Amino acid sequence: MSSVRLVACLVGLFSVSVLSAADWPQWRGPDRNGIAIEKITKLDWKDSPPKHLWTIDGMGKGFASVAIVDGRLYSTGNLKSGQGVVCVDVQSQRVLWSRPLTEENPDHSYPGSRCTPTVDGDHLYVVTSDGQISCLRTGDGEVVWKRNLKKDWGGKMMSGWGYSESPLVDGDWVLCTPGAQDAMIVALDKKSGEEIWASQVPDLGENGKNGAGYSSIVVSEATGVKQYVQLVGRGVIGVRASDGEFLWSYNKVANGTANIPTPICFGDYVFASTGYGTGACLLKLSKSGEGVTAQEEYFLDSKTFQNHHGGMIRNGEYLFAGHQHNKGWPICLHIPTGQVKWGGDIRPEGSGSAAITQINDQIIFRYQDGLLALIEATPDGYNLQGTFRPEYQEAQSWSHPVVVDGKLYLREQDKLMCYELSN
C-alpha cells in the first residue's frame, strides 16, 4: 500500500473521543491508548511546574498504575497480608478499603504488583503477579470470583517475572492471557468467571519464548473482523473476538527476555515494538477467506526505534515514545513510512525508560529516576516545555502517570502523589 493512501487512512481515523467523563477506568485510560480525553489549559512547566497537593501512604509495594472512576482511585500493591487491591477516596485522601487476593506476596524478580485494575460499573478486575484473575465489588472490595491462570489453563510466563497484564473488559466478557499454547488468551463471563472460549495458537516462530508476555490486550476491527491483539512471548498475535480462533501472528518483533509494550491498533494496521535489541514493525491486516493475514509494511531495527517499556502514543499519523533499551530518549516517528521525524538521539533530562501519557497535544514523560518532562506532541521538532521532580522517588518509577480532572496522579511504590496541572 502506498504511503499516500496510508496517510489518508490515518488522518481519517484520528478523532477526539466524545466521552464526557474525565474518568480513567483502565490501563492507559478510557480508550486504552495513553491519551487523556479531557482538555485543560495548555501547560508550561518552565515557569510553572505542577503544584503538589498531597501525598498518602498505603498503596503497597508495586509498579502498577491507577484507575480512577467517580472520585475513587484503585490500584494493586503488595500489602502486609498479600498482594491485592487498594481503593482511595481522592477528595478526602483516605484509603476506603484494601483487599488481599493472595495469601502471601508473590515471589519473583522485581517484587511488587503490576496490574492496573479495570473498572466496569460496580465491579473491577485484576490479575495478580502470581497469575490469578479476580472480580471484586468496587464498593467494598468483596471478591465475587477468582480464577487461576496457571492451575485452570496451564498458563506460563515467557520469563521469570510476574504476570503484568491489566485485563480487558469487552461487553459481557473479561479477557486475559494465561500464556498456554491451548489457552493463550481466554474470554470469561465477567459476572461468573466461567470460560467462554480459550484461544489455541500454533507454533508462532523461533524468536522469543513460549508463554505470555508483559503486555495487555487491545481491540482491533481490522478488515471488518473484530479481533483481540496481544503481544505474547513469541510476538504479536490476533485472535477472532467471537470465538477465539487464531487469525495471525508476527514473530520478528519478539525477544527472548520480555515483550512488554501494548500494541497500537488503528484501521487495518497494528504497530508493535519491543526492547532488548529488537525493534518495531508496522503490519497491515487483510481479509483472507474466513481468516485474516498480517503483512509486514516495514520493520525498524533497534537502532532506529525500540520501546523497552513505558508505552507508545499515536497522535494522527505520528508516534511518540521513549527510544532505546532501558532508556526513554524522546522520538517522533512518521507511522506510514517509519521515518524518524525528530529525536532518538536527544539525551533527555531524566534517565531510564519513560512511561508516557498525553494530555492536550503534550506528552508527559515520567522517567525511571523519577523526573517528569513535558514534551510537545508535534512532528515539527523536539520542544521540551519544562521538567520537575516529584517530592518522593523510590527504586524504579515505572508506574504510568494518570491525568483526571486536571490533576496528575503518580504512584510511587507505597505512596500516591497528586499534583495540580491546571495553572
pLDDT digits (tens, 9 = 90+) for 118-129: 999 999 999 999
Dist CA 365 CA 193 (whole Å): 36
Q: What is the pLDDT of residue 365?
A: 98
Q: What is the pLDDT of residue 301?
A: 98
> Dihedral (C-alpha) 222, 225, 228, 229: value to the nearest 10 degrees?
-30
Conformation bin of residue 317: beta by default, left when phi > 0, alpha when psi is -120 to 50: alpha
H or E segment and range at residue 311: none
Dist CA 312 CA 246 (whole Å): 25
C-alpha dist (Å) from residue 81 to 57, 105, 235, 302, 320: 16, 8, 36, 42, 40
- The model carries a pTM of 0.94
Dist CA 199 CA 184 (whole Å): 6
Supply 416's cell numbers.
500516591
Delineate the domains of the chain, giving CATH numbers in brackets: 1-60+350-397+399-423 (no CATH), 63-153 (2.40.10.480), 158-309 (2.40.128.630)
Supply 387's cell numbers.
521538567
Supply 40's cell numbers.
485543560
DSSP 3-state of 396: coil
Give the pLDDT confidence of 256-294 residue by residue, as tens digits: 999 999 999 999 999 999 999 999 999 999 999 989 999
Backbone angles phi, psi at 149, to 5 degrees: -65, -30
| CA-wise closest residue to 85 among 109, 102, 110, 106 | 102
Q: What is the pLDDT of residue 41?
A: 86
Q: What is the pLDDT of residue 2?
A: 45
Q: What is the pLDDT of residue 22?
A: 77
| CA-wise closest residue to 230 among 275, 270, 172 | 270
Dist CA 133 CA 306 (whole Å): 30
* pLDDT tens sequence for the chain (423 residues): 444 345 444 444 433 333 335 799 999 999 999 999 998 888 999 989 999 999 999 999 999 999 999 999 999 999 999 999 999 999 999 999 999 999 999 999 999 999 999 999 999 999 999 999 999 999 999 999 999 999 999 999 999 999 999 999 999 999 999 999 999 999 999 999 999 999 999 999 999 999 999 999 999 999 999 999 999 999 999 999 999 999 999 999 999 999 999 999 999 999 999 999 999 999 999 999 989 999 999 999 999 999 999 999 999 999 999 999 999 999 999 999 999 999 999 999 999 999 999 999 999 999 999 999 999 999 999 999 999 999 999 989 999 999 999 999 999 999 999 999 975
Q: What is the pLDDT of residue 423?
A: 58
